[in-house]
Amino acid sequence: MLGIALLFGLFFLTGHRFTAFRHKKDLLFIALSGVAMAADWLLLFEAYAQIGVSLGMLINYTGPVIVIALSPLFLKERITFVKVVSLAAALLGAFFISGQAAVEGINVWGILCAGLSAVAYAVMVLSNKLAKEITGTENATIQLLCTAVVVTVFVSFKQGFSMEIASADWLPILMLGLINTGVGCYCYFSSIGALPAQSVAICGYLEPLIAVLLSVLILHETMTPLQILGAFLIIGGAVFGELYRSRC
């Protein structure tokens, strides 16, 4: 909700007006993408609770593989050998960065949630790519609004709206809502329209890399040799794929 408030403010302060209802088909695709993003979040955090962050994240990051596989069918994009190599390097890097995921006590429900979150991620990216006319701040605002509605309905049925927030928690909540969600979603969904789905998928692997790097810098955690190798694979895969595309 904080992210939506920020995006609405930016949208109107910059003199824009909503044009979504002139493009009902695109609006439907963005709404579907928003629902898929909500499902991705809800399923992924349930997977974290059931099977742990490492394994949950690892399974979720098969989502970009699904995007690559389906982009020729839905977006008529050609799969190139370079993109396959770049994606394989990034996927292997994410595997190394996730570390040694616990294999004991894994339950089917947790694995299923993680797998479905990967499918939801693919639906989110592909649906948003199909919206050609609604772009930029308008795209991100509608997307995040649809996501918030779905999450709000889910939370209301699951636990209601009774919550207690400590005063010390407000600053990180504001940062998460305004910067990570509002600005982050604007940057992400504004760039989707300008990039092939395969590039979006490969660059998505920068997320676990940055999470590990920030954990080292802010939380003073240490990186294992495998995680360092994974970082090089992710950066190398993303840079190689994009540099090759820019030269073609």
- The mean pLDDT values, 10 residues at a time, for the chain of 248 residues are 88 81 92 96 90 75 81 83 79 70 62 90 92 87 92 88 85 92 86 80 75 78 76 74 59
Question: What is the predicted pLDDT for the residue at 104?
Answer: 46
Domain contains 200: yes
Residue 96 to residue 223: CA distance in whole angstroms:
11
Q: Report helix, strand or coil for 65.
A: helix
| Total number of domains in the chain | 1
In a domain, 207, yes or no: yes
Domain contains 197: yes
With respect to residue 72, please indicate whether it lies within any of the assigned structural domains.
yes
Whole-angstrom distance, CA of residue 79 vs CA of residue 76: 9
Domain annotation covers residue 41: yes
pTM higher than the cut 0.85: no
What percent of the chain is helix, strand and coil (3-state, nearest 5)?
80, 0, 20
Domain that holds residue 230: 2-161+171-247
- Is residue 114 assigned to a domain? yes
Is 166 part of any domain? no
Tell me which H or E stretch contains 103.
Answer: none
Is 102 domain-assigned? yes
CA distance 165 to 168: 8
Residue 62, number of CB atoms within 10 A of its CB:
17
